[in-house]
Amino acid sequence: MSLYTIATFYQFTPLTNYEAMKEPLLMVMKEKNIRGTIILAAEGINGTFCGEEESVTYLENYLKSFTELSELSFRKTYDDFNPFDKAKVKLRKEIVTLGTPEINPKDETGIHLTPEEWNELLTDPNVIVIDTRNDYEVKLGTFKGATNPETENFRDLPEYVEKHLLDKKDKKVAMYCTGGIRCEKSTAYLKKLGFKQVYQLNGGILNYLATMPVENSMWEGHCFVFDERVALDHSLKSLEKGSIDTEWKNKNRKKLEQY
């Protein structure tokens, strides 16, 4: 049985007092020996944290005790080690930085698809499927037939859209990311630009891998995660040492060292 529970979550919801939440939240994390990063902004909350199961449950309930976060849900994975080195709570303008703080996913986003519906969509030759993650993430794994915008950061995505998608507003466009949060922002951005048929993978790659049997899966490779696990296999387990290409590791070493 794995010793540690890793909880990933986000919610777009107005947090008028988000700055005041920082220190009490950090105190709870330290008291419960929980490590990871939580980002707070006026538009909501985003984070991943890890600890022993009882401590993780305590922090989840603490977060949900805030009226604005009462409907917060968490996606769990498990491992034999804690992939974070310390507890961090950060204040930001956006909980995921697209560089468009005026975009509000609570107004409108793409249509959320289940993993089964996503598989069906991927077989449609008329759909443009966009991987909204960074280029170094895509290099480790992606969906069959998806387009890699080759972005260095998520905030580079609007430039890609302006150059390559603005003349395709009448097309079906489907987007996906690791856990769903980047797609909330990116599909809301497309809807704001006037795209009519926009879709996203509900819960992202992590939800897809958790629910889709390997024999029916259209995922190829590994799923990058922003912590010391680096990437997960189809069963959401961290990879064996040496299973990631050495060239990829050397090229992205600086990025990996920040987690």
**Residues designated as active site:** 177
For residue 68, what are the contacts with CB-CB under 8 A and spacing of at least 6? 13, 14, 15
Indicate the length of the chain as a whole number: 259
> Are 134 and 152 a contacting pair, CB within 8 Å?
yes
**Torsion on CA atoms 138, 139, 143, 145, rounded to nearest 10:** 110
> In whole angstroms, what separates CA 203 from the centre of its chain?
8
Pick from 35, 13, 17: nearest CA to 26: 35
Q: Which long-range contacts (CB under 8 A, 24 or more apart) does 209-215 make?
A: 209/234, 209/235, 209/236, 210/75, 210/236, 211/115, 212/115, 212/116, 212/119
- Both tokens of residue 235? 């069963």
Three-class SS state of 259: coil
End-to-end CA distance of the chain: 25
Give CA–CA dist 68/15, Å, rounded: 7
36: left (phi over 0), alpha (psi -120 to 50) or beta: left
Position 192, amino acid: K
Other Cβ atoms less than 10 A from the Cβ of 149: the count is 19
Task: Look up residue 189 and give its DSSP letter.
Answer: H
